[in-house]
Structure formats: C-alpha cells, structure tokens
Amino acid sequence: MKAIVLCPGQGAQKVGMGQDLADTFSAARAVFETADAACGAPLSVLMWQGPEADLTLTSNAQPAILAHALAVWAIVRVRITPVAAAGHSLGEYAAYAVAGALTTEAAVRLVRRRGELMHEAGTARPGAMAAVLGLAGDTVEQVCAAASDGASVVVAANLNAPDQTVISGDPAAVERAGEQLKAAGAKRVLALKVSGAFHSPLMAPARTGLEATLATATLADPSVPVIANASAEPVTRAAEARRLLGEQLTSPVRWVDSMRRLVADYPGVPFIEIGPGAVLAGLLKKIAPEATCLSLGTARDVTTFMEQAA
C-alpha cells in the first residue's frame, strides 16, 4: 500500500519500549542490535529495563525513539510503499532513514550526538519550554516577540497543531510570555520537563557542533521527499537535508504547515505513524480531520497490520 510515513519525536519514550517487537520479530531485533553497536552501549537494555531517569536523558531518549521507529519500519516496509515521509524534531532523522538517505547505524550515531550536544547547550545556558493550549500559533509567535528583550528571549518552538504550540527560551522570558499568553486567551500554559530550550536561539552552540557532525556523515539523496521541520518543504537532495537538519536545532518545528503540505500534495493517501505512542496521529486529526493515520508501535499493532495488509 502507498502511505505517508510519520516518525515521532522526543517525549514518547518509556521503559519497556520496543521489547515486544524484539521478542516477536527478528528484523526488529536486528535493528536494536545495530543501535546498541552504534551507541557503543546497551541502549536496548536501557529501553527495556530502565531506569526511567536514564532513559529520559536527551542523549538516550533520542536514539531510543529512533531505534523503536526503525524497528517497526524494518518489519512493515514489505507492505508499504512510502510516497513521502516526515518526522517531528528528532523524528526527521528516522524519516530520512525510511527514505533511504540514512542507514540505521548512521541515524543512531547522529541523533546520539545531537542529544549530547543539546544537553551540553542546555547545561551551559539553562532554558525552559512550555506548551500553550487553546491559542492560535500566529498569536503565540506575536506574544513571544513582545516578551523577548535584550537579556532574554522566547520563541514559538513547536507549531504542533492549530491550537497547540510549544514555546522555548530563557526561563524568565518563557515565564513572562506564559503570563501574557494567558491574558491573550490561552486555555493553559504547561511547563515541560526538558534539559534545554530546544528549537530556540539558545541551541546555537549545539547547532554548530551538529553541523560539523553532519558534514562528515554519510547521507544519500532521499528516495522519496522528506518534509523538513525548518521549512515545511519537501527535501530530495542530501546537501539540502544536511543544511536543514542543522538549521532545525534553532528553528521552529513547523508541523502544522508540514502536515498541510503533505495532505495537499498527496490527497487521499493514508498516513502511517511508526514508533512509540500515537501523538502524531492525534495532531494530524486536529490539523487535517479528513486525513487518516494508523499508528504502529507495538507487536500487536504490527501483527494486525501485517495480516490485514497481506
């Protein structure tokens, strides 16, 4: 079947993730073994046994979520012909792997390094993030611009749904913006547990390090278009992918525009979300209610899909 493949981002990790896939499918086991080797550490043991505090660390959570997504893909790819792919933040690397631009090993190494660099940047300049619910994204962007000053900055970091935006920046500016957003009509502003101000100017040091890593990574032209977070435009060349993956760290995740682009470009084509959870399916329902999305994350999900798609 033809489908648009979606890959989730950080926050979907939990202890036990992917173990049922490894126990049931040899193709999934092979992916986790490759991820362990690429990390130089037993990532799969951490995924399946914890402790949760270690799994939640950015440098572990990112390769864990990517490995889970690619383990699912290793199984279901025989039933799916992707026409395009997209991933939320770190999920963009999994999307490039689905499109054949990155091997599993290269993708794991990149996101592992990405997570380390993001954590280091967050330690050097602590940041904060908060989810804003019930307010349009353009309004959130305007309030963030007004709440920023010479000493502290806050930006709209994840434009996730028409009524859901995550803001990111210096703690004082995020707090200031939160109060102003409530005054502007936001239903809720929820602080997030993060190790840095992701997708904001505070990630500039991490971007520099990541761009150096990307410059030497083996990256091929994707076989199908991958919608880039930073531009919400399709990418078909390796050089453009390198540039936009670096830019992504300090740019907003333009998820609403990305999904609208895919729906417009591929009318009627179903979406399939691979990896832990069903967050992206939920966001898609808010963005484009007419679109359909099947989430495949567990062995049961995958088994049912494989039987029905046979």
Question: What residues are annotated to the active site?
Answer: 89, 199
CB neighbour list of residue 204: distance below 8 Å, 6 or more residues apart: 121, 250
Which residue type does 137 have? G
Token pair listed for 37: 């080797």
- 303-to-48, 145, 225, 270, 272 alpha-carbon distances in Å: 20, 48, 28, 19, 15
Concatenated DSSP letters for 209-259? Answer: HHHHHHHHS--PPPSS-EE-TTT-SEE-SHHHHHHHHHHHTTS-B-HHHHH
Alpha-carbon gap, residue 71 to 80, rounded angstroms: 14
Cβ contact 177:154 at 8 Å:
yes
Q: How many CB atoms lie within 10 A of CB 183?
A: 9
Among residues 69, 58, 42, the alpha carbon closest in space to that of 10 is found at: 58
Q: How many CB atoms lie within 10 A of CB 171?
A: 16
Cβ contact 108:59 at 8 Å:
no
The bridge status of strand 226-227 relative to strand 234-235 is antiparallel
Question: Residue for token digits 């992707």?
Answer: 82
Token pair listed for 150: 């010479």
Alpha-carbon gap, residue 28 to 19, rounded angstroms: 9
Alpha-carbon gap, residue 111 to 4, rounded angstroms: 22
